[in-house]
Amino acid sequence: MMDGIPDIELPPRDNNRRETLKTIASAITGSALLSTLPWLSPLKAAPAGKSPSDKVRLGLIGTGSRGQYLEEHLLKTPGAEIAALCDVYPPHLQAAQQKIGKPVTHYKDYRHLLDDKSVDAVIIATPLYLHAPMCLDALAAGKHVFCEKSLALTIPECKAVARTASQSPKVFQIGHQRLFHRATLYALQQVKAGDLGPITQIRAYWHRNVNWRRPVPSPELEMLLNWRVHRKYSAGLMTELASHHLQVANWFLDSPPLACIGYGSINYWKDGRDVFDNVNVIYKYPKGVSFIYDSLSSNRFYGLELQIMGPKGTLELETAKFYAENPPPAPGIIQLINQIERGTLESVALADRSWVPDLKKDTKGTPLPEDPDHDDGTGLSMAAFVNAVRLGEKSPAMIEHAYRSGVAALMGVIAMEEGREVAWPGGYA
Amino acid sequence: MRVFHRTFLAMNTRFSLVIPGLDADHGESLLAETERYVRGREAVMSRFGDGLVASVNSRASEDTVEVSEPLWAILMLCRYHWNNTNGLFDIARGRMAAVAFDDRRQTVRFMAPDVFFDLGGIGKGIALKGVEMLLRQHEIENAFVSFGESSILALGEHPEGGLWRVGLAADAKMDFTLSNEALSTSGQTPGSEHIIDPQHGGWASGPELLVVASACPIEAEVLSTALYIAAPTARADILSRYDKARWRELPAGDEPNGMVP
């Protein structure tokens, strides 16, 4: 346990999600962490029972790869019932239907799903350009909303959605699963406990060697299936990937960025796309701290990582490790300290050839605690959303996270496209 | 009993300070002063980066180099121990005879190619000697300092009374009892050898580990290297010039020898 924050001892992975949620509920009830991590608050409620009144009836809008991933988590989430599906592409809709294992109502037009009074809440996992209109329509229809990141395609849309969500009595949550990721939560407490000293830089990268395209059965489906590489529908790597890391940077630095500059280009996948295949952006934060981000589509050697650095240590959140700047004492020194504290005197096993520090490439670091089911936070974020709907518990912090990360990603896009420094555009109120 | 302890990186290894009974405020202040002192010594003795030794090494093959006072004092100390160990303790990696010292002008000149100074065999001992003085100035009577586990300083007594007991990491039963003494070890790690035998210029082959205890951290450091290199029959002659030292060796692949003398 760290400084007032429980490091939740989760049951081993052969237990079911209900048991895990029960453990979490009992660990965080009354805990100080709810004041700093209010979006976890819905998890303090015991998992829903099996009675119909405990169920939250969900409509899943967008049944592509991400939508089906969320669906798999929802099927394991106590209290969640997938009551309706919606997609304009029949193969995806059929695949989502098969996962449920029983027939559910399905729609081609999301507005018809919103008219369905039996649906309490919607899960939106559609292309970016649809996020704003769908979120606004869903809130207007009185539905609780979980929308995949990033918030919206433009900054004015981000403002409109955040403003509407903040004024609505309904729950609004964006798919930033790192807010629920056990290792990331632990890392935040390490930062608050001063294990790094003040954060002096955050650096993140997301490198892949893929063209980001999906096979298209017929040409008219190009925009529908490959929306990510077309600027009219997508803001590319910044909204699809960087927004995750930007959300963590905003969170750990407790501020949105003040400004950013950047360069991007299409230097490899010259296949008709009009979103950058490589992006390189530097964000300026208060206290002289920078967040340096780059993403490639033409090399995967370094993979992805988010590094939070201070004078006393480095956190690497994607691999869930902490590296202290100062080395740990030798085992013999720890033995000696324990002896003195216990009041005993024995020979300590210490003298040896001179110790040499590991280089970064071969040092092991200290692992951060991970979820036994290797949940990247998505499972818990689904459970929190379902519980929040059941309890009618809104979290303004979720809207703020969604707004800050969504806007920060778009600032980077504008900086690269227009070749200028882009300042934070202010809040959404 | 509470115990103040901190570990930091210096001289490419870890420095651990353990002081029983000291409160955190005093401990942090003393640690900061200790760290400043050790880093200052490192700046003088390092053969990398901006170290004074690095500066001398880069120029003394081409020119006569004036040496500043702090480094000159260390070089003279090393020359003294080079003589005392029959040339086995050699900061010029076996080429000390090819270094021209001008005592009056305090200059050095390397008289052969590929000569350079490396204080790795004595640097931690020099730093520990200074740390010992620093701790005494602050009226710390009982303390334990480990510099990379190969150089250890034990001041005063263990809080449970009596001497500090330090064993080998590989065999805690082979231990030394220390009070106001330093311990130094020498040994080669296969693949990362660093001790050169000045008698032939190649890697020295000695026991698995050789350990020296002495009231002087610098002498402990010098002797652990020299005795590691020396043939068994040559050790007594070297030790005759050092009256404060005890030593032991862990023979390669064998049981520890008894304490000598």
CA gap A303, A408 in Å, rounded: 22
Average pLDDT of the segment spanning A293-307: 97
What pLDDT sits at residue A50?
Answer: 67
- Whether pLDDT at A10 is above 70: no
Based on the number of CB atoms within 10 Å of its own CB, is A78 exposed (0-12), middle (13-18) or buried (19 or more)? Answer: buried
Q: Does the N-terminal peptide bond of residue B146 adopt cis geometry, omega within 30 degrees of 0?
A: no
Residue B132 belongs to what H/E stretch? helix B123-137
CA distance between the termini of chain B: 36
In this structure, the answer to whether residues A193 and A48 fall within a common structural domain is no
Q: Any idea where the domains of chain B sit in the sequence?
A: 3-22+141-250
CB contact at 8 A, A145 and A61: no
In this structure, the answer to whether residues A22 and A147 fall within a common structural domain is yes
Q: In this prediction, what percent of chain A has a pLDDT beyond 70? A: 94
B172 touches chain A (CB under 8 A): yes
CA gap B40, B43 in Å, rounded: 5
In this structure, the answer to whether residues A299 and A227 fall within a common structural domain is yes
What pLDDT sits at residue B129?
Answer: 98
In this structure, the answer to whether residues A304 and A245 fall within a common structural domain is yes
Q: Quote the mean pLDDT of chain A.
A: 91
By Cβ distance, the residue of A326, A347, A354 closest to B166 is: A347
In this structure, the answer to whether residues A207 and A321 fall within a common structural domain is yes
- Report which DSSP code applies to B200: T
What pLDDT sits at residue A196?
Answer: 95
Find the closest chain A residue to B168 by CA distance.
A351
Tens digit of pLDDT for each residue in A192-241? 999 999 999 999 999 999 999 998 989 999 999 999 999 999 999 999 99
What DSSP string describes A316-373? Answer: ETTTTEEEESSPPPPHHHHHHHHHHHHT----EEEE-SPP-PPPGGG---EEPP--TT
Average pLDDT of the segment spanning B163-172: 91
Distance of CA A26 to the CA centre of its chain: 24
- Whether pLDDT at A146 is above 90: yes
Residue B141: C-alpha distances to residues A63, A106, B16, B177 (Å):
72, 80, 17, 17
Where residue B161 falls among pLDDT bands split at 50, 70, 90?
confident
For tokens 């209109």, the residue is A133
What pLDDT sits at residue A2?
Answer: 37
Tens digit of pLDDT for each residue in A346-384? 999 999 998 887 665 446 778 888 877 778 899 999 999
CA-wise closest residue to A427 among A255, A177, A238, A251: A255
Average pLDDT of the segment spanning B152-180: 93
In this structure, the answer to whether residues A95 and A125 fall within a common structural domain is yes
Token couple for B124: 């931690």
Tens digit of pLDDT for each residue in A39-96? 988 988 877 766 667 799 999 999 999 999 999 999 999 899 999 999 999 999 999 9
Contacts across the A-B interface (CB distance below 8 Å): 127
Better-scored residue on pLDDT, B79 or A7: B79
By Cβ distance, the residue of B158, B168, B186 closest to A345 is: B158
Q: Tell me the three state secondary structure of residue A71.
A: helix
Domains: count for chain A? 2
Q: DSSP E strands: which ranges in A199-342?
A: 201-207, 259-265, 278-284, 290-296, 304-310, 313-316, 321-324
Contact flag B162-A345 (C-beta cutoff 8 Å): yes
Average pLDDT of the segment spanning B143-163: 96
What pLDDT sits at residue A360?
Answer: 57
By Cβ distance, the residue of B18, B167, B192 closest to A349 is: B167
Nearest-CA distance B194 → chain A (Å) = 11
Angle B231-B236-B240 from CA coordinates, rounded to 5° = 140
Which residues 124-163 in chain B show a CB within 8 A of chain A? 124, 144, 146, 148-152, 158-162
Q: In this prediction, what percent of chain A has a pLDDT beyond 90? A: 77
In a domain, residue A154? The reply is yes
- Whether pLDDT at B106 is above 50: yes
Q: State the CATH number of the domain containing residue A243.
A: 3.30.360.10
Q: State the CATH number of the domain containing residue A55.
A: 3.40.50.720
Question: Which chain B residues are Cβ-neighbours of A330 within 8 angstroms?
Answer: 14, 16, 146, 149, 169
Amino acid (1-letter code) at residue B41 = R
Contact flag B168-A346 (C-beta cutoff 8 Å): no
In this prediction the pTM is: 0.75
In this structure, the answer to whether residues A283 and A413 fall within a common structural domain is yes
Nearest-CA distance A303 → chain B (Å) = 30
CB contact at 8 A, A129 and A234: yes
In this structure, the answer to whether residues A30 and A121 fall within a common structural domain is yes
CB contact at 8 A, A197 and A237: no
Nearest-CA distance B93 → chain A (Å) = 18
Amino acid (1-letter code) at residue A314 = T
Residue A19: C-alpha distances to residues A46, A48, A57, A78, A96 (Å):
10, 12, 22, 10, 26
Find the closest chain B residue to A330 by CA distance.
B149
In a domain, residue A210? The reply is yes
CA gap B119, B81 in Å, rounded: 13
Where residue A5 falls among pLDDT bands split at 50, 70, 90?
very low
- Whether pLDDT at A1 is above 70: no
Give me the helix-helix angle, B24-45 and B123-137, nearest 10°. 150
Which residues 191-210 in chain B show a CB within 8 A of chain A? 192, 209
Average pLDDT of the segment spanning B126-133: 98
In this structure, the answer to whether residues A149 and A201 fall within a common structural domain is no
Token couple for B224: 């652990």
Tens digit of pLDDT for each residue in A81-140? 999 999 999 999 999 999 998 889 999 999 999 999 999 999 999 999 999 999 999 999
CA gap A151, A401 in Å, rounded: 10
In a domain, residue A316? The reply is yes
Question: Which chain B residues are Cβ-neighbours of A327 within 8 angstroms?
Answer: 7-9, 14
Question: Which chain A residues are Cβ-neighbours of B18 within 8 angstroms?
Answer: 333, 336-337, 340
- Whether pLDDT at A11 is above 70: no
**Does domain B3-22+141-250 bear CATH number 3.10.520.10?**
yes
Contact flag B5-A354 (C-beta cutoff 8 Å): no
Which residues 217-256 in chain B show a CB within 8 A of chain A? none
By Cβ distance, the residue of A340, A344, A350 closest to B169 is: A350
Question: Which chain A residues are Cβ-neighbours of B16 within 8 angstroms?
Answer: 329-330, 333
CA gap B79, A89 in Å, rounded: 84
In this structure, the answer to whether residues A204 and A282 fall within a common structural domain is yes
Where residue A3 falls among pLDDT bands split at 50, 70, 90?
very low
In this structure, the answer to whether residues A132 and A226 fall within a common structural domain is no
Tens digit of pLDDT for each residue in A388-408? 999 999 988 999 999 999 999
CA gap A98, A89 in Å, rounded: 15
CA gap A388, A274 in Å, rounded: 39
Q: Which of B6, B7, B151 to mutate to test the interface with A (most CBs of A within 10 A)?
A: B7
Token couple for A300: 């995967």
CB contact at 8 A, B132 and B138: no
In a domain, residue A88? The reply is yes
Based on the number of CB atoms within 10 Å of its own CB, is A103 exposed (0-12), middle (13-18) or buried (19 or more)? Answer: exposed
Distance of CA A165 to the CA centre of its chain: 19
A359 touches chain B (CB under 8 A): no
Where residue A28 falls among pLDDT bands split at 50, 70, 90?
confident
Where residue A268 falls among pLDDT bands split at 50, 70, 90?
very high
Give the domain extent around A75: 17-180+376-395
